[in-house]
Structure 1
């Protein structure tokens, strides 16, 4: 009986002290935006408010373009236009990303 109580107590202590949490359950984790369909036409660069890459946990790598009007548009990671805008804004610091 003592061994069972000790084992259960140790298990409970381990569970309480363990600070490893899955990424999706983390307290400070922001909701992820992943892309599953992609826009293929380029936009005038003046309409681009910001551009970001999707999170590494997303199944498809992509860029998310936010327009000046607040619309989010997904572009494939292989889109030369989106890659060019991303590289341009990343180096200049002029646009948020």
Structure 2
């Protein structure tokens, strides 16, 4: 009886450890953008709520843009429309 209890406890601890490692892996790479996730169209300035660069460990350099409706898109930070958006945003911040 002791052996089966020990085995059950070991399996339970292993399952909990595996789940915690899996959750941290998901959160680490959950902020990355992948090739098929990139939006090709321009997002109008008035719809952009926020943006954040992806971490350096990600495969693709990207910016995750969140709209006012809560939608999240990946964009290429080198795209002209996004560069123009950043310049307009910076100009607005310095003039106020």
Confirm or deny a common fold (TM above 0.5): yes
Segments of 5+ residues of structure 2 without an aligned counterpart are 1-23
Mapping 1:1-97, distance limit 5 Å: 31-32=28-29, 33-36=31-34, 37-89=37-89, 92=93
| Number of equivalences | 65
More helix by share: 2
Q: What are the superposed Cα offsets for residues 65-89 of structure 1, whole Å, 9 maximum, x if unpaired?
A: 1000111010013212123323443
RMSD value over aligned CA atoms?
Answer: 2.4
TM-score by length of 2: 0.56
CA distance in 1, matches of 2:44, 2:77: 18
Cα deviations by residue, 1:41-64 (Å, 9 ceiling, x for unpaired): 101110000111111111100011
Cα separation, 1, equivalents of 2:81 and 2:52: 14
Q: Where does the alignment leave 5 or more consecutive residues of structure 1 unmatched?
A: 1-24
Q: Which runs of 4+ in 1 moved over 3 A?
A: 86-91
